Chain A
């Protein structure tokens, strides 16, 4: 999976012209996550979610990104959070070559470049706080398992 990520990172077709070492901090309700900006395809606001039947509850539907469908994931529902409805219409599209999906988030907090010593394997340090890194591969694996992709 690391190779895939590197391959994705090396592609220069990003819609977000960001520095390679920058990270995004976003929030879903009160949870804050960090994500390497090179793994982000795009951030969309106020998109309509189109319903897809028979899917697990955490799949809210698909959104239309210039004619390409992206699966919309509610990460709070994957984690069985009680209050999982997200009112804000912010969607974080991942840059992947194996799938098209995005997560429904509450807010984009900041793009920043942490010092090297503030970057850890599973978290980064931001304003004296540790923020966990968001692992999109877990979402992909969950989705593929539940949709029978591996069958």
Chain B
């Protein structure tokens, strides 16, 4: 075995062992990350960039998990599993046809890893489908290599068949199965008749078998035609896409929410909401499968009003209870308050005009009973919008409700001056910190954001003038007023209070003017 072969064998063993560890316990973040880092670097050194990129993708996910930016979910586990499988298949390729490794397309895997690491909502099923398609394609390619003949690409067709059609076909097939039993029975009767040499019985059995065989053939033909009909209908269905959901209204506007996202529909009195950080929360009771009340669980679900996302006036609520749709997507569950829920419908979906092909908010249109076009809301996007709305709401709420207390830094080398100014400012409702000179002040400014600085000029280590220069160079302090309280004014200062004729009133008046806090 040459050195290169030896290295490759070691590398493959190491990689497979690591993948096995990750697949066995994907939630052992620290261990997996440590192992990953070594093997990832080896992939890079050996020039296996494809595997290196996949490792990097997994590493990013683990880093995000360790930093608590992500929660380990079954979706994440599935994704890790898929990416690990891909690494294993790359290892197999290294052993058989290493020259093909660089041609392996790992972009979809990396995209999903990125999505996961960024905390985005993703569905590994789509990646899984892609993996399956790729596997099929590679199998076909292998076949093609053996027979040195390209086979036409086979499309993985999905049939959509309505349940009524399925029931009809199942009934036909059950009838055919029943007929085969009857025919079997008649064949037994025929055997008996033959052994008894009973010509009359033989003739009767023969007639029955001939009749029932004919019937079976007719039914079989009918079933076959039905099946072909369904395949033809599928072209129509693929174009129009039948879907189910509920019509809801918000701000007098009507929307469709697909039933696949709806976990439950409940009514709740607005009085029963809890409010945590300006976020309405409802205590949603998850009934147990046994129906036993004692086994039921209560889950706190954040609720949002759909009306808040759209312009217009919210409909006047004549009901004492809010209607809430409990919707699920991946691991997230929220409640959406709607003005009303209309009937559950099974409708034909129309695609949006082509310009909307990447538009995330609406997935299509359906017609209601008035033949109005109703947009289908894309729930993952709605959830995203609610999350961003929440942060904004909290800020708005805080801005309106919480009185901002201005923080002032006093910079003076005289302890007595600091104490006097400190007492004056605190008694006027300000929060005060102290610094003994410019250097001390700079340190404090780095760690805390102040709304105003009062500084002396003549100080050891760093005087007021240099401090002022430094402050005005700091991005977050460019607009923060600096009041110089010294014997003489400084050029760059925003205000000056003379120490020589210091008065409490002048200081407070100056500070209030600087903070636009004059009432």
Residues in chain A within 8 A of chain B (CB atoms):
48, 50-55, 62, 64, 67-71, 98-101, 140, 143-144, 147-151
Contact = CB atoms under 8 A, between A and B. Distances in A.
Given A48-B372, A53-B361, 13 more contacts: A50-B365, A50-B374, A52-B375, A53-B255, A54-B361, A64-B373, A71-B353, A101-B353, A101-B355, A147-B355, A148-B360, A149-B356, A149-B357
The prevalent SS among residues of B at the interface is mixed
Contacts of A53: 253, 255, 309-310, 361-362, 375, 377
B355 A54 contact: no
Interface string B233-257: 0000000000000000000010100
Contacts of B291: none
Contacts of A140: 355
Nearest to B375: A52
10 contacts: A53-B361, A54-B360, A54-B381, A55-B361, A62-B373, A67-B350, A101-B353, A147-B358, A149-B354, A149-B359
A101 B353 CA distance: 8
A57 B374 CA distance: 18
Contacts of A149: 354-359
Interface string B306-319: 00011000000000
Contacts of A99: 353-355
Contacts of B377: 53
Interface in B371-413: 371-375, 377, 381, 385
- Nearest 7 Cβ contacts at the A-B interface: A54-B361, A50-B373, A100-B353, A148-B358, A147-B359, A99-B354, A143-B355
Interface residues of B, number: 25
B352 interface: yes
Nearest to B360: A148
Nearest to B381: A54
B371 A64 contact: yes
A71 B355 contact: yes
Interface of B: 253, 255, 309-310, 350, 352-362, 365, 371-375, 377, 381, 385
Contact of B354 (A50, A98, A148, A150): A98
A94 B362 CA distance: 23
Contacts of A55: 359, 361
Contacts of A151: 358
A62 B365 contact: yes
Contact of B362 (A52, A67, A143): A52
A108 to B, nearest CB: 23
A30 B239 CA distance: 42
Contacts of B310: 53
A71 B373 CA distance: 12
Given A52-B362, A53-B310, A53-B362, A69 B373 contact: yes
Interface centre among B373, B374, B381, by most A CB within 10 Å? B373
A147 B253 contact: no
Contacts of A69: 350, 352-353, 365, 373
A64 B352 CA distance: 11
Nearest to B373: A50
Contacts of B358: 147-151
A69 B309 CA distance: 23
A62 B357 contact: no
B355 A50 contact: no
Contact of A144 (B255, B355, B360): B355
A143 B355 CA distance: 7
A70 B362 contact: no
A51 B375 contact: yes
